[in-house]
Chain A
């Protein structure tokens, strides 16, 4: 039982990353009907931006001799600043990479996305070199043992912050005018702009939000696995993409659920079977779900709709 609960805790943390990254894929696909294949690399960029913000902030604190700022305040600041900066990276990707291709076939946009991803990876390699960076330890690890299950304060924080961000995004999409515009756009891509909703602003907003969430995921990833590399976003990005498909087009709840589900499958497969079978079994399960629900958990067919 303890063994089982310990793995539930492990899976919650691992699933948080998939869920946060999947949200970005899902939103962009929902609104613009395109898969932003650079999203995994935006996650990487977010982690690096977080690294530099954190290092800079720590330097500033120590050089100004400010009354010692508690670690969690620094962490919150780092997350907010990095989310803000990375949002602009996402907006720039949309503006430069995708907007000129909005009328082009979807395959062109997909190829562009892959290319942007490669530019981020190799650009990072060229600028910072191949050396791994070690994410600074902002909060000290405290370990709690509750009934044989070991939990650290970091793990609790990671899952809590992820859930909080998902809730905030849900509220934004459901309760604000901008969120309503996004939902409307997802409903009908062609007619909504005719009603005076600015397509370009909504597209930029969608990319900005998705990238900000990816940045938050990147920083939390850095806190949990403090070795940053230029290629850290590729595999995680692919898997989050699959989670987004599984969740259903544009569904926030679906992407979050699917992300956690993928985390649970991966951890439990590695627990029961040799780890080499992990991806095989995980993707077989997803394939099976998609056979019965081809549009994912909460998706719906969109073939009948007009498209630009």
Chain B
């Protein structure tokens, strides 16, 4: 299945994603520079928006990329129920686009944070977390604006609709303040849309896709994503 890996000017995780996806049977990842516009997405069965600094993160992280014409194609695919993942800067772009609720504010520490963290995967089944429900996984984060924020109403619906698949936790799997690396509401690390086919997350599954990188926990998320492109 053709997976479009978007590259905006300033995106810099595209090769990591392409390499991680190439490890997965049935995945045919292609690099799509955003200048190709809608035509670049015409064969896509799924989309990954990688991390980096799209348009230098000028104005606000992800704000400029979110109004590029290619994002109309992302919207169309998401509407069709095709899987879409935004990682780090990709998550920021999806939230700027309004495909996901809320916003990613500056980290509470006001500093860039780059480290390995633990995530508690929610018990509820989602397209992206099959075979890992309720588990404890380890992924790296690297961001300055990963402090997830949303309104009370949005938070209530995220919770009530089981749309928070990933939350920061400690090594023992406890979700508490001390394990929150950036100040996110309720330790939120990743959320999905109402339809369940659009995932945004701050941690980097592609950087934990091979044992040599320190963990291969992230590969399962990407495998689930690839499987979903076949539906």
Do chains A and B stick together as partners? no
Q: Which residues of B pack against A, CB within 8 Å?
A: none
